C-alpha cells in the first residue's frame, strides 16, 4: 500500500510534499487546518488508527509521542504491523517507530536522504551489522521468522554465523562470518528443518507454471501444486509467482493457487510460451491445437524462469490441471514479467465534495495507474489524480470511455473509471457489463472488446448519488417509497418515459428526475409536472438542487404548480414529493421537506386501541 503522509498543520506541508515525491505516498491532511491534501480527515485519531489497522505505512509529521499514544492500544503482532515513522514538521528528523524490520528503517533512510535529514535508526541489527535478518530484501523469504529474535540476540551478544548457500545481501553485510559459527544462515529453495539457532532463507527463484481446463476446481489446482512441490522437496516460500497462458487470466483456479501461496499471478501469450517449446519435456500436439503452444504449464514455468533458467519439475497432471516448476538463476520479480490480469475499478465519487467520497473509492483511485472519465469528474478528484495517467473524454462519448477503460485494463493496468454520484445509477457500471455481455467482435473494425479486456477483474464501488445528496440537503423526502426517472430520450424512447412518469404518478411515488432538461429538450419536465398535478396537490413540495457539493450550489423548494423549466438545467436534480410529502420549519428559518412513513398514524392507532380497551 502507498504510505499515508499525515499532516496536521500547514507548516508541515512543504516537508510532506517532498516526502510524497520521495516515497510515492499520498498526503492526508486535517480538514480544519490543511486545505491542500489528497485525503482530508476530521478526526486524526480515528483516521490514523484506521490506516494502521488496514496495513497502510504511516509517516506522521507530528510529535513521536503523540503518534505512539494514538497507536499504543492497537499494538498486537509486530510481524503484522505496518511501518510507522515520525518526522518533525521541518523534516530535520526521521524516526522509525514501528515495523523497523518491515520496511520502516529503509523508508526512514530514503526520506532522510531525500530531505538531507537524520534517520534515527535504533534497531541493534541495523546499527551493528547493517542488516535486518528478520526482513530480508525483495526476492527472499524468511521461512522461520519466529527464530529471528533468538538468532539476532546471539549475534548481538558476540556470536558468529556460518552461511550455507549464497546471497549477495548476506555477503555484503557486516555480519561476523565463521565456519565455526554458533548460528546458521541457510539459503536454499529446498525444504529443510531448521535447527535451534538457524534461519532459512528461500530465494524466490521458483516459477510455478499452471494449466487447467475451463472451470477446474480451485482445490484440485492447489492440491496438485502442493504435491508437485512436496514430491520435489521444494519450498513454497521460494515461489516467485504463478504463471499461465493469457487465456486463463480470468480462471478462478489459477488465482486461487496464487492466493494460497501469497504470490502474484502473471500471464503470457501463446507465442511467448511456444518460444520455449524446444525445452519442453512433454510437448503436446493436442494442447497446440487448442491454444497455440505445445504446453502451458512447462511453457509458462520456463518463460518466467528466463533463458538462463530451467525446468526444476516437468509437467505433473491431475484430472483437469497441469503443473510444472521452472527455476531461475536469480530471484524473480513477478511484477516485471508477464502480464497481470488487469483491474477495472468503477467508482462513484459523489456529487463533487470530497467529504462525500468514500475511503474505499479514494483507495481505489490512489492504487490505480490510470484514470478514465469525463474531464470535469477527473478534475473533481483534485490532488488524488496527481501522478496518474489521465484519459479525458467529453460528454456523449460514454461507450468510447468505457471501452477504452476496459481495454487499458486488458493490458494489465489498474484503471479507475470515474463517475459522478453513484457508478451504478445512470452511470458507467451498467455499460461496462453491457459491453461484456455483447457478442465477441466478428471483424477487425468491430467495437467489441478484445479477449484480454473480457478477462479483466472488475470491482464497483458506490458513491453518494445526486438524489441522496439533494434529499439530505432539504431533509428527508425519500423517507417512503420513491423512484428515479431520467427524462433524457437519447437512450430511452419518449413513449417509454411517458409511461413511467404516468405509472409513478399514479403509484404516488416520490420521484427523483435525472437529466430533466438540456438545451435541446425543453418540454419533458413540463409534461411530467402536468401529469403529476393530476394525481397530487398543487402545493406538493419540489426540491431543485443544482451543483451539489460544488461551487455555486443552490438548493431550493418550490410548489409543484410553480415548477418552471427555466429554473432547471442539466446539473439540477429535481425531487418531486408524493401526496404525503410535506414541509416543516425550524427556528433558524429553514424549511425542510420530508415524506412520513406512517409512524404518527401507527402511534395514534395504538392510543386509540388502548383507550378502547380501557
Q: How many helices (H) and strands (E) does the chain have?
A: 20, 29
240 and 226 within one domain = yes
Res 605 pLDDT > 90: no
The secondary structure of 46-87 as a DSSP string is HHHHHHHHTT--EEEES-HHHHHHHHGGG---TTTPPPEEEE
Predicted confidence at residue 105, as pLDDT, reads 84
245 and 196 within one domain = no
Angle at 256 between CA 253 and CA 258, to 5 degrees: 115
CATH code at position 578: 3.30.950.10
Do the domain assignments include residue 231? yes
148 and 239 within one domain = no
pLDDT in tens, 266-290: 999 999 999 999 999 999 999 999 9
Buried b (16+ CB within 10 A) or exposed e, 85-110: bbbbbebebbbbbbbbbbbbbbbbee
361 and 253 within one domain = no
Cβ-based neighbour number of residue 541 at 10 Å: 25
116 and 22 within one domain = yes
Res 126 pLDDT > 90: no
Predicted confidence at residue 275, as pLDDT, reads 96
3-state secondary structure of 28: strand
Do the domain assignments include residue 449? yes
Do the domain assignments include residue 256? yes
Count CA within 13 A, CB hemisphere, residue 358: 15
pLDDT class for 602, splitting at 50, 70, 90?
A: low
Whole-number Cα distances in Å, 85 to 111, 447, 546:
10, 49, 44
495 and 436 within one domain = no
Do the domain assignments include residue 605? no
Asked if 305 contacts 282 with a C-beta cutoff of 8 angstroms, the reply is: no
Residue tagged 445526486 (cell numbers) = 466
Predicted confidence at residue 1, as pLDDT, reads 75
User: Of 316, 336, 356, which closes a domain?
Assistant: 336
Mean pLDDT of 21-29: 91
Asked if 94 contacts 112 with a C-beta cutoff of 8 angstroms, the reply is: yes
- Grid cell of 220 as nine digits: 484440485
Q: 210 has which bridge partners?
A: 323
CATH code at position 420: 3.40.1010.10
Predicted confidence at residue 365, as pLDDT, reads 92
pLDDT in tens, 153-181: 888 888 999 999 999 989 888 889 998 89
Predicted confidence at residue 460, as pLDDT, reads 97
Q: Alpha-carbon distance 11 to 576, whole Å? A: 48
User: Of 306, 336, 366, which closes a domain?
Assistant: 336
Predicted confidence at residue 614, as pLDDT, reads 58
pLDDT in tens, 45-89: 988 988 888 888 999 999 999 999 999 988 877 767 889 999 999
Predicted confidence at residue 454, as pLDDT, reads 93
Predicted confidence at residue 153, as pLDDT, reads 86
CATH code at position 89: 3.40.50.11220
Do the domain assignments include residue 604? no
Q: Alpha-carbon distance 214 to 207, whole Å? A: 22
Q: Quote the number of domains for the chain.
A: 5
Angle at 81 between CA 77 and CA 84, to 5 degrees: 140
Is pTM, for the whole model, over 0.85? Answer: no
- Grid cell of 262 as nine digits: 501469497
Rounded (10°) angle between helices 252-261 and 218-231: 50
CA 465 to chain centre: 20
Res 129 pLDDT > 80: no
587 and 525 within one domain = yes
447 and 536 within one domain = no
pLDDT in tens, 419-451: 999 999 999 999 999 999 886 655 444 568 999
Cα dihedral across residues 524, 526, 530, 536: positive or negative: positive
Res 353 pLDDT > 90: no
User: Of 203, 237, 256, which closes a domain?
Assistant: 203
pLDDT in tens, 177-199: 998 899 999 999 999 999 989 99
Res 603 pLDDT > 70: no
Do the domain assignments include residue 606? no
228 and 274 within one domain = yes
Do the domain assignments include residue 614? no
Do the domain assignments include residue 601? no
CATH code at position 290: 3.30.420.180
Res 344 pLDDT > 90: yes
Range from 119-128, 165-174, 506-515 carrying the lowest mean pLDDT? 119-128
Predicted confidence at residue 444, as pLDDT, reads 47
Cβ-based neighbour number of residue 506 at 10 Å: 11
580 and 472 within one domain = yes
State the average pLDDT for the chain.
90
pLDDT class for 31, splitting at 50, 70, 90?
A: confident
pLDDT in tens, 555-564: 999 999 999 9
Q: Does 132 or 8 have the greater pLDDT score? A: 8
Structural domain of residue 506, as residue ranges? Answer: 467-594
499 and 429 within one domain = no
pLDDT class for 601, splitting at 50, 70, 90?
A: low
CA 132 to chain centre: 30
Res 607 pLDDT > 70: no
190 and 246 within one domain = no
pLDDT in tens, 220-243: 999 999 999 999 999 999 999 999
Cα dihedral across residues 396, 402, 407, 412: positive or negative: positive
The secondary structure of 284-343, three-state, reads: CHHHHHHHCCCCCHHHHHHHHHCCCCEEEEEEEECCCEEEEEEECCCCCCHHHCCECCCE
pLDDT in tens, 354-391: 788 898 998 899 889 999 999 989 998 887 888 889 99
Amino acid at each position: 500500500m502507498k504510505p499515508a503522509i499525515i499532516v496536521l498543520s500547514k507548516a508541515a506541508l512543504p516537508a510532506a510534499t517532498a516526502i510524497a515525491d520521495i516515497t510515492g505516498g499520498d498526503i492526508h491532511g486535517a480538514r480544519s487546518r490543511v486545505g491542500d491534501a489528497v485525503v482530508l480527515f476530521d478526526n486524526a485519531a480515528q483516521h490514523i488508527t484506521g490506516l494502521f489497522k488496514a496495513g497502510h505505512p504511516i509517516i506522521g509529521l507530528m510529535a513521536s509521542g503523540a503518534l505512539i499514544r494514538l497507536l499504543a492500544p492497537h499494538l498486537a503482532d509486530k510481524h503484522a504491523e505496518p511501518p510507522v515513522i515520525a518526522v518533525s514538521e521541518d523534516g530535520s528528523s526521521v524516526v522509525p517507530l514501528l515495523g523497523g524490520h518491515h520496511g520502516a528503517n529503509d523508508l526512514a533512510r530514503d526520506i532522510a536522504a531525500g530531505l538531507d535529514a537524520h534517520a534515527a535508526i535504533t534497531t541493534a541489527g541495523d546499527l551493528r551489522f547493517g542488516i535486518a535478518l528478520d526482513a530480508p530484501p525483495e526476492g527472499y523469504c524468511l521461512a522461520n521468522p519466529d527464530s529471528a529474535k533468538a538468532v539476532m540476540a546471539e549475534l548481538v551478544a558476540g556470536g558468529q554465523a556460518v552461511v550455507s548457500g549464497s546471497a549477495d545481501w548476506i555477503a555484503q553485510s557486516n555480519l561476523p562470518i565463521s565456519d565455526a559459527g554458533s548460528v546458521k544462515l541457510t539459503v536454499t529453495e529446498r525444504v529443510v528443518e531448521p535447527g535451534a539457532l538457524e534461519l532459512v532463507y528461500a530465494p524466490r527463484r521458483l516459477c510455478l507454471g499452471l494449466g487447467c481446463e475451463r472451470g477446474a476446481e480451485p482445490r484440485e489446482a492447489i492440491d496438485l501444486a502442493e504435491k508437485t512441490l512436496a514430491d520435489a522437496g521444494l519450498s513454497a516460500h521460494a515461489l516467485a509467482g504463478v504463471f499461465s497462458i493469457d487465456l486463463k487470466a480470468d480462471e478462478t483456479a489459477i488465482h486461487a493457487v496464487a492466493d494460497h501461496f501469497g504470490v502474484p499471478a502473471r500471464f503470457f501469450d501463446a507465442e511467448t510460451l511456444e518460444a520455449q517449446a524446444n525445452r519442453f519435456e512433454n510437448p503436446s500436439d493436442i494442447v497446440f491445437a487448442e491454444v497455440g503452444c505445445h504446453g502451458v504449464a512447462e511453457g509458462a514455468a520456463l518463460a518466467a524462469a528466463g533463458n538462463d533458467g530451467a525446468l526444476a519439475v516437468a509437467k505433473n497432471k491431475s484430472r483437469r490441471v497441469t503443473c510444472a516448476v521452472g527455476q531461475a538463476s536469480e530471484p524473480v520479480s513477478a511484477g516485471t514479467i508477464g502480464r497481470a490480469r488487469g483491474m477495472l475499478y468503477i467508482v462513484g465519487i459523489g456529487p463533487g465534495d470530497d467529504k462525500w467520497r468514500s475511503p474505499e473509492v479514494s483507495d481505489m483511485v490512489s492504487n490505480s495507474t490510470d484514470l478514465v472519465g469525463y474531464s470535469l469528474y477527473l478534475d473533481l478528484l483534485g490532488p488524488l489524480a496527481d501522478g496518474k495517467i489521465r484519459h479525458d473524454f467529453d460528454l456523449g462519448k460514454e461507450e468510447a470511455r468505457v471501452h477504452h477503460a476496459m481495454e487499458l485494463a486488458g493490458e494489465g493496468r489498474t484503471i479507475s473509471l470515474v463517475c459522478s454520484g453513484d457508478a451504478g445509477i445512470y452511470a458507467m457500471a451498467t455499460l461496462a457489463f453491457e459491453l461484456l455481455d455483447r457478442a465477441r467482435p466478428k471483424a477487425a473494425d468491430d467495437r467489441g472488446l478484445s479477449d484480454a479486456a473480457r478477462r479483466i477483474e472488475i470491482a464497483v464501488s458506490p458513491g453518494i448519488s445526486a438524489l441522496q445528496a439533494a434529499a439530505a440537503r432539504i431533509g428527508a423526502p425519500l423517507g417512503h417509497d420513491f423512484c428515479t426517472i431520467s427524462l433524457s430520450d437519447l437512450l430511452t424512447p419518449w413513449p417509454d418515459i411517458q409511461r413511467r412518469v404516468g405509472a409513478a404518478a399514479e403509484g404516488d411515488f416520490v420521484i427523483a428526475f435525472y437529466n430533466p432538461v438540456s438545451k435541446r429538450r425543453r418540454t419533458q419536465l413540463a409534461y411530467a409536472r402536468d401529469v403529476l398535478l393530476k394525481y397530487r396537490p398543487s402545493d406538493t413540495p419540489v426540491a431543485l438542487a443544482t451543483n451539489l457539493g460544488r461551487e455555486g450550489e443552490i438548493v431550493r423548494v418550490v410548489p409543484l404548480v410553480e415548477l418552471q423549466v427555466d429554473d432547471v438545467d442539466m446539473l439540477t436534480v429535481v425531487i418531486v414529493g408524493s401526496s404525503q410529502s410535506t414541509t416543516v420549519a425550524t427556528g433558524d428559518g429553514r424549511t425542510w421537506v420530508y415524506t412520513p412513513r406512517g409512524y404518527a398514524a401507527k402511534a395514534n392507532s395504538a392510543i386509540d386501541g388502548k383507550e378502547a380497551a380501557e
